[in-house]
Amino acid sequence: MCVLQILTISGFIHADAAPEPPTAVSVKDGAGCYSSVVSWVAPQARCGVAIATYSVRYQQRKGGGGGGYTTVSSPTTSVTLQRITANSDYDVSVAAISSSGNMGIFTKAIQFELQGDICTQLLLSAVIAHHHMHSHQLYGPFLLILQNQSLQQMSH
């Protein structure tokens, strides 16, 4: 049934049904050290009422200092989460909001972890590029330490 009819003292009112939850929620590391990109597949429009936006909530899992959900909205089927702590577990879920303002239920939480080695790799690449441009002997020991850290993280 697309439209719910509710009898009130003043007569019938119409309420649109809430949208179905999105599907195929996935998470990948973002372009920077402390971001992740969440994407999903939009649900079908329900009863001809289009999806207007999405609510994305995420939190650091227990033991990681999480203090409740952070919620962001997105008009598209992806969003970049900022200030994600590397090597920490998070939960994320998504809900669709119809053009009439009704929010559907959130998807089952998806667990993800931003891999910390991407930050080391980005820093290592920057130091190597800078080293090649300036070829100072000062960077040699620092470069060796970063390479060893990167190799250790990648082997785990």
CB 21 within 8 A of CB 10: no
Question: What number is the average pLDDT over the span 99-115?
Answer: 91
Q: What pLDDT digit, counting tens, does each position of 137-150 carry?
A: 555 555 555 555 44
Band of pLDDT at residue 96, cut at 50, 70 and 90: very high
CATH for the 18-113 domain, from 2.60.40.10, 3.40.50.300, 1.10.569.10, 1.10.10.10:
2.60.40.10
* Percent of the chain that is helix, strand, coil (3-state, to 5): 20, 40, 35
Dihedral angle computed from the Cα positions of residues 35, 36, 37 and 43, in that order, rounded to the nearest 10 degrees: -130
Which position has the higher pLDDT, 101 or 1? 101
* Average pLDDT value over all residues in the chain: 76
How far is C-alpha 154 from the geometric centre of its chain's CA atoms? 23
- Does the pLDDT value for residue 52 go beyond 80? yes
pLDDT tens digits for range 20-45 = 999 999 999 887 778 899 999 999 88
pLDDT at 154: 45
CA 38 – CA 58 distance, rounded (Å): 10
Q: Where are the domains of the chain?
A: 18-113, 117-155
pLDDT at 84: 87
The CA-atom distances, in angstroms, between 46 and each of 16, 19, 142 are 9, 6, 58
Specify the pLDDT at position 71: 95
Q: Which amino acid is at 68?
A: G
Which pLDDT value is given to residue 119? 63
Per cent of the chain over pLDDT 70 is 60
**Is the confidence at residue 116, as pLDDT, over 60?**
yes
